[in-house]
């Protein structure tokens, strides 16, 4: 790896594999992982409000409307800048505003990750990250992808420097990641 810190922002639809990428980079390369949703989960927990997708989407909208579209982006950029690890991975880039300040940091790279919708739905049910995920129907999953926080993902993903396909086994994903890291370290 270069002496310079590498900052990777992950953009992709629900259950595309962003968390899997974070886990791999954390375990294999001692990366620090930061999630946009962590700050939302922290606030919901503080007020004893259930952590589900709808509540996080609503909280995100209220915070951004009140304090500016780039509120979470500023926080993530500062966290990434202050990190002492060689690799920082940011999970959950959704909007152009999310990368506004990150793009100003040296060695920031936006990486799109995607998988077919049916595959992503199965992964969502299996992982049950949010309390309402396990019982979610495919129609509800498709509706979640039409909500405001998810709508800008495709547009932001078009600006990504690298693209990962996560339709196959994890080993294929890891191989793609290693190729990207090799490019970034040259």
For 98-127, the pLDDT digits (tens) are 888 999 998 999 999 999 999 999 999 888
| 94 in any annotated domain | yes
| 104 in any annotated domain | yes
What would the DSSP string read from start to end of 45-108?
A: HHTT----HHHHHHHHHHHHHHH-TTHHHHHHHHHHHH--SSEEEEEEE-SHHHHTTGGGSTTE
Residue-wise pLDDT tens digits, 4-21: 899 999 999 999 999 999
Q: Which residues of 31-59 are buried (b: 16+ CB within 10 A; e: fewer)?
A: bbbbbbbebbeebbeeeeeebebebbbbb
pLDDT of residue 182: 94
Total number of domains in the chain: 1
Instruction: Tell me which residues of the chain have a pLDDT lower than 50.
Output: 1-3
What predicted TM-score, i.e. pTM, was given to this entire model? 0.86
pLDDT of residue 80: 94
pLDDT of residue 93: 92
Q: Which residues pair with 171 in a beta bridge?
A: none
The residue segments making up the domain with residue 100 are 6-185
CATH of the domain at 79: 3.40.50.300
Name the CA dihedral angle for 100, 102, 105, 111, rounded to a multiple of 10 degrees: -120
């Amino acid at each position: 790896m270069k002496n310079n810190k590498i900052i990777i922002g992950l953009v992709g639809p629900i259950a595309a594999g962003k968390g899997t990428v974070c886990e791999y980079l954390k375990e294999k390369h001692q990366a620090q992982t930061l999630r946009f949703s962590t700050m939302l989960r922290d606030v919901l927990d503080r007020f004893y409000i259930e952590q589900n997708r709808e509540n996080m989407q609503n909280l995100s909208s209220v915070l951004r409307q009140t304090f500016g579209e780039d509120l979470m982006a500023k926080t993530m950029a500062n966290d990434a800048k202050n990190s002492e690890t060689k690799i920082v991975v940011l999970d959950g880039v959704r909007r152009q505003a999310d990368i506004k300040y990150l793009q100003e940091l040296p060695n920031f790279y936006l990486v799109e990750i995607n998988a077919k919708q049916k595959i992503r739905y199965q992964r969502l049910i299996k992982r049950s990250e949010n309390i309402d995920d396990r019982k979610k129907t495919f129609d509800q999953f498709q509706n979640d992808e039409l909500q405001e926080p998810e709508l800008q993902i495709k547009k932001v993903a078009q600006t990504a420097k690298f693209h990962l396909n996560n339709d196959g086994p994890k080993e294929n994903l890891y191989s793609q990641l290693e190729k990207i890291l090799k490019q970034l370290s040259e």
